[in-house]
């Protein structure tokens, strides 16, 4: 499995989730 797939499959969703939690805390419970 290419490392790029691992990054896209795990790191990107987590990073996006953290950004949403930090920048828009009122959008999520």
**What CA–CA distance (Å, rounded) separates 1 from 13?**
18
pLDDT in tens, 1-29: 688 888 888 998 899 988 888 887 665 55
pLDDT at 8: 83
Instruction: Give the 3-state secondary structure of the chain.
Output: CCHHHHHHHHHHHHHHHHHHHHHCCCCCC
Write out the two tokens for 4.
């790029």
pLDDT at 10: 92
**What CA–CA distance (Å, rounded) separates 1 from 27?**
35
pTM of the full predicted structure? Answer: 0.50
Write out the two tokens for 20.
């949403």
């Amino acid at each position: 499995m290419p490392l790029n797939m691992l990054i896209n499959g795990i790191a990107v969703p987590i990073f996006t989730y953290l950004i949403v939690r930090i920048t828009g805390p009122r959008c999520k419970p």
